[in-house]
Homo-oligomer: A and B are copies of this chain.
Amino acid sequence: QKPRKSTPQTGEDTLNGHLPPGWQSYMSPQGRRYYVNTFTNETTWERPSSVPGTPKSPPANSPSVLTVNGYHISGTPVHQLDSGHISLRKASGDPQSPGSPAAPRRQSKESSLTINCVTFPHPDVMPEQQLLKPSEWSYCDYFWADKKDSQGNNTVSGFEILLQKQLKGKQMQKEMAEFVRERIKIEEEYAKNLSKLSQNSLAAQEEGTLGEAWAQLKKSLADEAEVHLKFSSKLQSEVEKPLLNFRENFKKDMKKCDHHIADLRKHLASRYAAVEKARKALTERQKDLEMKTQQLEVKLSNKTEEEIKKARRKSTQAGDDLMRCVDLYNQAQSKWFEEMVTTTLELERLEVERVEMIRQHLCQYTQLRHETDMFNQSTVELVDQLLRKVDPAKDRELWVKEHKTGDIRPVDMEI
């Protein structure tokens, strides 16, 4: 009898018929049933069939899984990020095209909101805006307004929030690489210890077939060590380094991007200030003109009439100024709008790329883990073979042949 703690679970076996000869069923620590061939120590999750030729399991065919650009999708729709399909035009006032999905209902509780220095009336008063990329939750649709930070002290622009997300993503990627590095260290340490123990001389004098099996068991630790070293070196080259090196200048690029958008915002603000100034100037000119017109009604002097002409000219000029300033503001606004849409879509693309990249390398990690366990399992196969060949009678023969002292037995003494 083998000195096992867990006794074979025969409950299922009597229900579903018997296992093939030599197979026993056990429970894993996680409560999952597995099967052990007591002759070969083959161990498997799959119930062995007693009918030869019956498959343990059908080959893995997953017709519902599709591959798109190396990215496996099961059931979820593919959101194509084709920015060429959207026109970078402002939708304000555009009639809602029939059949297109409605924009999600906004639930702003304030009666006005500030975007780029312009205070807008409550959304309900405004004409309904069509989302640029409806049903996609695109960055380009949801980060137009500014936001107070958690303490309510500083205002953060929507774009700033997107940028912070990108930088955090970069940080996560770096931390994952660090995690993998720690794992590599653990594997190297483990391999070092196994290798060292493998070279230990304990019980090296065991002889015969048992001695061979024992020597192979010790050697198997060196094989295990090699498997784990391979794992750690592949972790480094195929997981850690790619994670670490992906987008080396990302932070710098993001800063450049940030500066560009910030410059545009500043430009926009100065244009807005110019508009305000021109509007004020126009108001003054109009007041002046009005005052002089009233004076004319009282005095009717020629000189006043000339002054009115002059004031009217100046007022018209101020009106033209305002028109020009508004036009410049609108130009800057338009530029900013286009830049915002282009850049947020680029950030969106970068984020998809990052998630894909990380997913791929974590898949690489699990594959290396799978391989490691599989290679590891094969390191004891030769030990199993030699253990099956252990034969005390043969060992005795070998030993007796080498150490025998003589087979002449004593006989009775005769006088």
Q: Is the CB of A358 within 8 A of B210?
A: yes
Q: Which of the segments A9-17, A247-255, A292-300, A380-388 contacts the partner chain?
A: A380-388
Min CB distance A372 to B, Å, is 8
The quantity of this chain's copies bound in the complex is 2
Contacts of A50 in B (CB 8 A): 59
Interface residue tally of chain A, by bracket? 35 or more
- A401 → chain B closest CB, angstroms: 7
Contact B118 A405 (CB under 8 A): no
Q: Do B409 and A355 have beta carbons less than 8 Å apart?
A: no
Cross-chain contact A61 with B20 (CB below 8 angstroms): yes
Rounded to whole angstroms, the CA-CA distance of A161 and B403 in the bound complex is: 8
Q: Is A52 an interface residue (CB 8 A)?
A: yes
Instruction: Give the shortest distance, in Å, between A400 (CB) and chain B (any CB).
Output: 4
For window 34-48 of chain A, which residues contact chain B by CB distance below 8 Å?
A: 34, 36-37, 39-45, 48
Q: Given A144-B405, A182-B202, 18 more contacts at CB 8 Å? A: A2-B70, A2-B360, A3-B242, A29-B375, A34-B371, A41-B366, A42-B370, A48-B59, A49-B59, A52-B58, A56-B59, A74-B388, A118-B410, A142-B405, A175-B203, A336-B410, A366-B384, A376-B376
A213 at the interface (CB under 8 A from B): yes
Say whether B413 contacts A326, CB under 8 Å. yes
Q: Which residues of B contact A376 (CB under 8 A)?
A: 369, 373, 376
What 6 A-B pairs have minimum CB-CB distances, sorted nearest first?
Answer: A145-B406, A142-B404, A158-B405, A175-B203, A92-B411, A43-B370
Question: Among B48, B221, B405, which residue has its beta carbon within 8 angstroms of that of A161?
Answer: B405
A120 surroundings in chain B (CB, below 8 A): 408, 410-411
Within 8 A of B (CB), among A327-379: 329-330, 333-334, 336-337, 348, 351-352, 355-356, 358-367, 369-371, 373-378
